[in-house]
Structure formats: structure tokens, C-alpha cells
Structure 1
Amino acid sequence: MTRDLRLIGTALLCWGMGEGLFVYLLPLYLEQLGADSVQIGVIFGIAAVSMTITHIPAGALSDRIGRKRVMSAGWISGLFSAIVMYLAPNLLFFVIGLVMYHLTFFVIAPLNSYITAARGKWTVARALTTVSAMFNVGAIVGAILGGTIGELLGLRSVFGLAIIPIFISTMIALLLKHQPIEIPKKAGRYQAVLSNITLGRFLALASIVLFGMYLSWPLTPNYLQNVRQVTVREIGALGSINALGLVLLNLSIGRLIAYRGFVISQLLVGASILLLWLGTGVPFFALSYFLAGGFRIARSLTVAQAEGLVSRVNLGLVYGITETVMGLVAIIAPPIAGLLYRVSPALPYPVSLGILGGSLFLTTRFLPRLKPSTPLVEDHFDLQPTNEEGMS
């Protein structure tokens, strides 16, 4: 592992600890602030919109001005957003903070691009999934603390505590080195990406897969608390088990060929949904949360497979487009989940299983046939130093 990958992993470990403190409890806190199931779904949809609209501009900008500049802005604004969520006196101001927090997800495209460039001898899939595992190691600790502290001191307190590891993460991220900017020799920098039919087909398939995986997830904490009588502390513990699953599954599936991992992750999430729907106790839910880690793995493998369909010079833009497509899933799924939940709290689960069955068929039938529509030339760019090695 290279020096910069170690720094990124450490920074994400700290951020995972901070986010893990509250992320699994968000639906419960929104409910506590007065939101019903449909409103919670709409709030998550709005947050996803704010996240989605930033990916392409951030990815393209990182290709032009350098990845670290954009990443640093994301880390700092994320810290500010966490402070706003903690200080929010009511639902409206909390939602403003939550939307601001999701706006800072623009860091993902340049971050993935940075990891790809800094991976050394590792494959893209291994680098992305290993760094993701580091994030989730922190989330394990955060989720355990969040559930315990939330039950003892109230849910609002976990947002205040989350500021500490997020601040530490930001300080570490600012130590990263700048990477050279890759300048294409030919005009029409983005034409090759926008005309890449194979990339478009792959992202269409990936969006169906991820929608089926995610649909049942947004209101699962509410389902467990209100229908299955699971306590806040137990939900926090389930969150830590989910993070543990992400770590172990990332480190194992991330070493496989990306296509195989993509198929396996769908099977894992399908089993997870089935356990949530038909499980009869916390042990079943724990196994479900462990297997649900397949969703995040599928996201990482979506990025890894997209990388193989394009040239390196446009990585930031392509990763931005990929994150935007995945963000659209996060926009559409929560409101639909809220409507299904209103009809019946368990309804999102069989609907998700049906979609996953179809997506698995499409994946095994069509994904192996997708090849780059044009030859990928990796030596058509110059490396331009940023001349700002000491800047944050």
C-alpha cells in the first residue's frame, strides 16, 4: 500500500467512525423530529439530489485543477455540515444540514480518481474496496458507540460526538500530496466519454441492479423498531455488524474479478433482504445486516468496471458520471420505499427481491458481453505538475 493510500485509508477510518455514529440512526432521529415515513423518504430523496448534482462537475473539475483541491474542499465542507446538523434546533434546520452534508459527497469522484492513480501495483477493484474497508472499520466502532450513546443520552448527542473524528479525518486528508494533472494532447476531451455507448449500457444495467439492492434499505431502521420491536441500542449494534460485513466482504470480494464480485454482491443482498423480511429475531437481522454490505461493494465494483471502459485522462469525469447514476438511485428509491412502507411496512422487501431477480438475470446475460466500444489509448496525455505541493 502506497503512502497516500495509507493516509486516505486512515482519514476514511476516522470519517467512518464519525459518520457511523449517526448514519444508522438517521431515520429514527428524523422520526423523533416529527417526520413520518413518506416525509423521511422524501428527505432522503432531497439529500440524494443534492449529492447527485455535484458529482459530474466535481469529477470534471478535478481533471482540470487537480484532485486534491476538490477533495480538500469536500472534507472541510463536510466538517461544517456535521456541525450544522448537531446545532440544528428543529427538523427544518436539521434537513438543511443534512442536505449540506450530502452536497459534500462531490468528494467521491475525485477521491476514487485519486485512489486509482495512487494504487501502485494494486488493481483498481482492490484499491477501492480496501480503502472502503478502512472506512467501515471506523464505522464499526462508530455504530456501536452511536447506538449506546443514543439510547443513554439521546440521539442528538451522537451528532455532537461525530464532529471529533470528522475533524481528525479532515486534518489527515489535508496531508495528502497533489497528483499531476493529466492533459490530453487531442481536442474534444469529453467527446470520447459522452459517445461511449458501452459505458452507457453498463451504467443503465448498474442502475437497475443498485435500485433493487437499495429500495428496501432506507426505512429498515424504522421497520425494525416499529414492527419488530428492536431497540435503538440493538439497531446501533446491527449497524456495526453491517460495517463489519463491509470490511470482510470488501477484503474478500474485492480480490475477485469485478464481474464475479458484482454477481456475488447481488446474491448477498438478496439473502439479506429475505432475512429482514422473514427473519424472526435479532440473530437473523444481524446476519442480514452483515450480508447487506454487498450493496456498498457493488457500488465500488461499479466504479471499478466503469474504469475499464474509458481512458485514464477522463477518470474524474467518468467517475462523476458513475456516481451521478448511482445517486439517481438514491433519489428515486427512498420516496418509493416510503410509499410502499405506508401501504405495508414489509412491502419494500418482496418488491426489492423481485427487482433483484430480474437484475441478476440481466447481469449474467449481458454484462460479460460488454467491451470497450473504442480502443483505449493510455498514452495520449501529458502530465502537468500542479506547482502547489505545499497547499491544502
Structure 2
Amino acid sequence: MSRDLKIVSAAMLTWGLGEGMFYIFQPLYIQQFGADPVLIGTILGINGLVMTVGQIPAGYLADKVGRRPMMWASWIFGLISTWVMALAPSLGVFVVGLLLYGITSSVMAPLNTYIQDVRGKWQVGKALTFTSAAYNIGAVLGPVIGGVLGERFNLRLVYYAAGVIFAISTTIIFFAGKDIKEVPVSKPGEVHLLKNKRFLGMVVMIFLVMFAAVLPQSLAANFLQNQRGLSLSRIGQLGALGGLGSATLMLLLGHLPSGAAMLIGQAGMGLFAALLWKGTGLFWYGAAYLFLGGYRLIRAMTLALVQPVVRAKEVGLAFGVVETVNSLAFVVAPILAGFLYDWRPISIFPVSLGVLVVTILLTLGFTRWNKTGEGPVEVEVPDEA
């Protein structure tokens, strides 16, 4: 493993610890400000929209000005916005901090492009899933700590603690080395990204899969507290199991072809929805959250899926487009989840299961089409970072 990949992994580990402390409790904290399920879903949907708009510009800038400056800016912005949420005296101010935090998700395209550049001899999928696993290892402890702090004190304290941990993570990322500039080599048959039919087909399929993966988890914490009577500490323990499942799936399945890994991830999310729907005790809820790792596996593999079919000079832009689509799922899915929850809370899970069945079939069909399609470009990526 290269030096810079170790630094990124350490920064992701600590960020996962901090974000894991409050992420699963975010809908519950918004609820404490007096928001109903529809408003909670709308707020989360708007946050998803904010997460969406910065992805393509960030990916484009990563190709033009470098990945490392974009990473540094996002880490600093995330640190500041977390303290805005921690100090917020009202729902309005908290939402401002939440939306500012959403902007930091634009780091994904520069970050993942940087990981590709510094991965050394590792395959792209393995490098991406390893750093994501580092994040999720941190996310194993985060929800447990957050649940204990929230139950013994209050959820606001969780954001204070996360702000301190993010300061440590930001310090670590500043030790990352310069990203490596590849010299693009033109080849016969190359086409612009937006004329690349295989890439565009992948983008459509990725959105549908991500929507199906986000829907069942959007208001799961609210369901477990309000309908199943679980305490904050119990929900935090479930979140830790989710982080453990994510890290395990990343480490075990990161070497698989991206299409196969995405199918496994969707199957995992189907089990997550089914177990929350039909489960009647903490054991079954714990099993459900172990399978929540399917979401992280899907998200990492969306990038590995598109990387081989785009030109080297457009990788950052392509990753930005994919992350835009990934984030767009966070716009639509929480809003639908909010309406389903307001109508009948448990309905979220059978609806999600049905959508996942459809996307699994679509993924199978797309994988077969992709194997027989003519690739517009084959990108050579050097083995050494």
C-alpha cells in the first residue's frame, strides 16, 4: 500500500468515527426540533439536492486544478459546518449547517480520483473499497459512542464530539502528497464523455440502483424508535453493526467484478428491508443492519464500474457525474420515504423490497448488455502511483 493511500485511509477512519456518531441520529435530532415525518423527509431530500449540485463541478475542477486542493477544501468545510450544526439554537440554523455539510460530499469525486492516482499496484476497485472500509471501521464505533452520549446527555453533545474528531481528521489529510498528473494519450475510437453510450447507460442504471438502496434506510431510525420502542443507545449499537457489515463486505468483496459486487450489495439491502419489515426483536434488527453494508459496497462499485470505459483525462468529471447521480438518490428517496412513513410507517420496507427486486433484474440485464457492447475507449492506468 502506498504512503498516500495510508494517509487517506487514516483520515477516512477518523471521519467515519465522527460522522458515524451523528449520521444515524440525524432524523431523530431533527424530530426533536418539532419536525414531522414529511418535513424530515423534505429536509433530507433538500440536503440530497445540495449534495448533488457540487459533484460535477468538483470532478471537473479535480481534473483541472488537482485533486488534493479540492480534498483539503472539503475537509475544512465539513469541519466548519459540523460546528454550525453543534451550535445551532433552532431548526432553521441547524438546517443551514446540515446543507453546508451536504456541500462537502462534493469531495467524493476528487477523493476517489486521488485514490485511483495513488493506489500503487492495487486495482481501482480494491483501493476504493479499502478506503471505504477504513471509513466504515470508524463508523462501527461512532454510533455506539453517539448513542451513549445522546442517551446520557443529549444529541447536541454528539455534534460537539464529532467536531473535535473532524479536526483530527482534517489535520491528517493535510499530510497527503501531491496527486499525480497523467499525460492523456489519445487513441482511435475515443469519444467525449457525454457521447459515450456505455457510460450514459451505466449512469441511468446507477441512479435506479442507488434510489433502491437509499429508500429503506432513510427513516429506519425513526421507525425503530417510534414504532419499535428502541432507545438511542440500542439504535447506536445497530448503527455500529451497520459499519461492521460495511467494512466486512468491502474487505471481502472488494476484489470482485463491479457488476457482481453491485448485485450482492442489492441483495444485502433487500435483506435489510425484509428483516426490518418482518423482524420482531433486536436480533433480527441487528442482522438487518449487518446487511446494510450492501449500500456502501454498491456506492464504491459504481465508480469502479465506470472507470474502465472513460478517458483518463475525464476520470474526475466521470466520477463527478456518478457521484451526482448517487447524491440525486438522496434527493428523491427520503421524500418518498417521508410520505410512506406518514401514510403507514412500516410500508417503507415492502415498497423498498419491491423496488430492489426490479433493480436487481435491471442490473442483470445491463450486465449482459455491457459485456456485448462496444466500448468507446479502453483506458490504460499505470500500475505504480
TM-score for the superposition, normalised by structure 2:
0.95
The answer for the alignment partner of 2:299 in structure 1 is 299
Deviation, structure 1 residue 369: 2.3
Are 2:272 and 1:272 equivalent residues in the alignment?
yes
The question of whether the paired residues in 2 share the 8 Å contact of 1:202 and 1:367 is answered with no
The superposition leaves residues 32-69 of structure 1 with CA deviations (integer Å, 9 ceiling, x where unpaired) of 01111011101011111111100000000010011001
AA partner of residue 128 (structure 1):
L
The answer for the alignment partner of 2:348 in structure 1 is 348
The superposition leaves residues 103-159 of structure 1 with CA deviations (integer Å, 9 ceiling, x where unpaired) of 011111000000011111111111111100100111111111000010001111100
Deviation, structure 1 residue 181: 3.2
Q: Distance in 2 between matches of 1:231 and 1:213?
A: 25
The answer for the alignment partner of 2:42 in structure 1 is 42
The question of whether the paired residues in 1 share the 8 Å contact of 2:27 and 2:40 is answered with yes
The answer for the alignment partner of 1:256 in structure 2 is 256
The answer for the alignment partner of 1:220 in structure 2 is 220
- Give the count of matched residue pairs: 378
Pairs within 5 Å for 1:52-201: 52-182=52-182, 184=184, 192-201=192-201
The answer for the alignment partner of 1:10 in structure 2 is 10
The answer for the alignment partner of 1:374 in structure 2 is 376
Deviation, structure 1 residue 332: 0.6
Q: Identify if the C-alpha distance between structure 1 residues 125 and 377 changes in structure 2 by more than 3 Å, giving closer, same or farther.
A: closer
The question of whether the paired residues in 2 share the 8 Å contact of 1:140 and 1:243 is answered with yes
DSSP-derived class of the 1:119 partner: coil
Q: Distance in 1 between matches of 2:142 and 2:366?
A: 39
Q: Distance in 2 between matches of 1:377 and 1:126?
A: 17
Deviation, structure 1 residue 366: 2.1
The question of whether the paired residues in 1 share the 8 Å contact of 2:309 and 2:377 is answered with no
Q: Distance in 1 between matches of 2:94 and 2:298?
A: 30
Q: Identify if the C-alpha distance between structure 1 residues 176 and 334 changes in structure 2 by more than 3 Å, giving closer, same or farther.
A: same
Give the 4+ runs in structure 1 shifted more than 6 A.
Answer: none
The superposition leaves residues 235-292 of structure 1 with CA deviations (integer Å, 9 ceiling, x where unpaired) of 0110001000011111011121221111111111111110000100111000101101
AA partner of residue 302 (structure 2):
T
The answer for the alignment partner of 2:240 in structure 1 is 240
5+ residue gaps, structure 1 = 382-392
The question of whether the paired residues in 2 share the 8 Å contact of 1:309 and 1:372 is answered with no
The question of whether the paired residues in 2 share the 8 Å contact of 1:259 and 1:368 is answered with no
Q: Identify if the C-alpha distance between structure 1 residues 377 and 365 changes in structure 2 by more than 3 Å, giving closer, same or farther.
A: closer
5+ residue gaps, structure 2 = none
Task: Say what the alpha-carbon RMSD is for the aligned residues.
Answer: 1.6
Identity of aligned residues (%): 40
